[in-house]
Structure 1
Amino acid sequence: MPIIADNKDWTWVLARACPDCGFDASSTTPATLATTIPALLPRWQQALKRADVEQRPNDSTWSVLEYAAHIRDVFDLFAGRLEAMLATNNPTFADWDQDQAALNGNYDSLEPSEVSGELVQCGQDAAEAFGAVNSELWERRGLRSNGTEFTILTLSGYFLHELIHHLHDVDA
């Protein structure tokens, strides 16, 4: 059963702490991602070993497996956006429908151990990519298709919130 789409604009997390997960993006940098992502990966690996990994807690919430597959793809998405920001002046990011990606990727029927390995590799790759960005480049800009502007610095905070928030979702 498909999940009801979350159409909220989550960019507000760049201005204030998230009341749900407690994450505060104000001190996040690309260098922060280089150390924080690897520290979070074991928590995802443990979550994917749960007996109920494939069970949705209710009809409107993804299973741990679906959240983990989403995060695996988020690592690639944000690494790609970073790459575009470094290679091009003011790139516009293509829309990404996370719910359609879940359906297209059959997140609910994936093998947890495979998702775990892929998530770790994608996470390590994203951590390395963000960690390699020189601080003089942190103000380079990119745009979402709706016109929302990010710098590499704010993209880092937005990205890390995604990772922290979904760990909160699966731990709740």
Structure 2
Amino acid sequence: MGITPDTKDWTWVTTRRCEFCGFDPAAVERSEVADRIAASTSSWRDVLARSDVATRPNDHTWSALEYACHVRDVHTVMRERLELMLAVQPAEFANWDQDEAAVDERYGDQDPGVVADQIDANAAAFAAAYRAVPDGQWTREGLRGNGAAFTVDTLAAYAVHDLEHHRVDVGLPARSE
């Protein structure tokens, strides 16, 4: 059964606290971004080892496996956006429909062990990309197709929120201990 697509505009998380997961964009320090990206992978292997990893808890919520695939892809999409922002001004992001990706890539049918390896690799690459951002580049801009504007700074907050929020979705603490 298909899940109703999420049509919320989550860009608000770059300016205010998320009541669901506790993420506060004001608490995201540039010096911590790469470490928070890398730490977001903590315990995903445990989640992906669950016997019910591919089972949806209800008809409107992804399974833990589907969330894991989404997180894996968030690392890649956001890294690509960051790299584009550092290369082109203003950068224009290709549309990425997360719900379409879940269906097209058959998230619920993927191998959990492979997904765990991919999360680790993609997070390491994304964290490395943020570690390499030069001091004077954090205000560079990127635009989504819907007109939402980001800087390298706000993209960091947006991405870190997504990565930490989905930990809560699968029963983990938002931030690794």
1:77 deviates by 0.1
Runs of 4+ in 1 over 4 A off after TM superposition: none
For residues 52-111 of structure 1, the C-alpha deviation after alignment (integer angstroms, 9 at most, x for no partner) is 111100000000000000010110000000010000011111111101101111101001
8 Å contact from structure 1 (residues 33, 127) kept in 2? yes
1:45 deviates by 1.5
1:40 deviates by 2.2
Which residue is 1:148 aligned to?
Answer: 148
1:167 deviates by 0.5
Which residue is 1:20 aligned to?
Answer: 20
Which residue is 1:169 aligned to?
Answer: 169
Is 1:69 the equivalent of 2:66? no
Q: For residue 42 of structure 1, give the secondary structure of its aligned residue in structure 2.
A: coil
Which residue is 1:109 aligned to?
Answer: 109
1:158 deviates by 0.4
Q: What CA distance in whole angstroms lies between the structure 2 residues aligned with 1:122 and 1:114? A: 12
Which residue is 1:40 aligned to?
Answer: 40
The structure with the largest helix share of the pair is 1
TM-aligned CA distance change 1:68 to 1:2, over 3 Å:
same
8 Å contact from structure 1 (residues 21, 168) kept in 2? yes
Q: For residue 150 of structure 1, give the secondary structure of its aligned residue in structure 2.
A: strand
Q: For residue 103 of structure 2, give the secondary structure of its aligned residue in structure 1.
A: helix
Q: What CA distance in whole angstroms lies between the structure 2 residues aligned with 1:104 and 1:62? A: 15
For residues 100-124 of structure 1, the C-alpha deviation after alignment (integer angstroms, 9 at most, x for no partner) is 1011111010010000001110011
Per the normalisation by structure 1, the TM-score is 0.96
Q: What CA distance in whole angstroms lies between the structure 1 residues aligned with 2:84 and 2:95? A: 14
Which residue is 2:158 aligned to?
Answer: 158
Is 1:92 the equivalent of 2:92? yes
Q: What CA distance in whole angstroms lies between the structure 2 residues aligned with 1:162 and 1:34? A: 14
Q: What CA distance in whole angstroms lies between the structure 1 residues aligned with 2:23 and 2:88? A: 30
Q: What CA distance in whole angstroms lies between the structure 2 residues aligned with 1:105 and 1:113? A: 16
Per the normalisation by structure 2, the TM-score is 0.93
Q: RMSD over aligned Cα, in angstroms?
A: 1.2
For residues 117-142 of structure 1, the C-alpha deviation after alignment (integer angstroms, 9 at most, x for no partner) is 01110011000001110121000001
Equivalent residues, number = 172
Is 1:124 the equivalent of 2:124? yes
Unaligned runs of 5+ in 1: none
8 Å contact from structure 1 (residues 142, 150) kept in 2? yes
How do 1:42-57 and structure 2 match up within 5 A?
42-57=42-57
Q: Which amino acid aligns with 2:149?
A: E
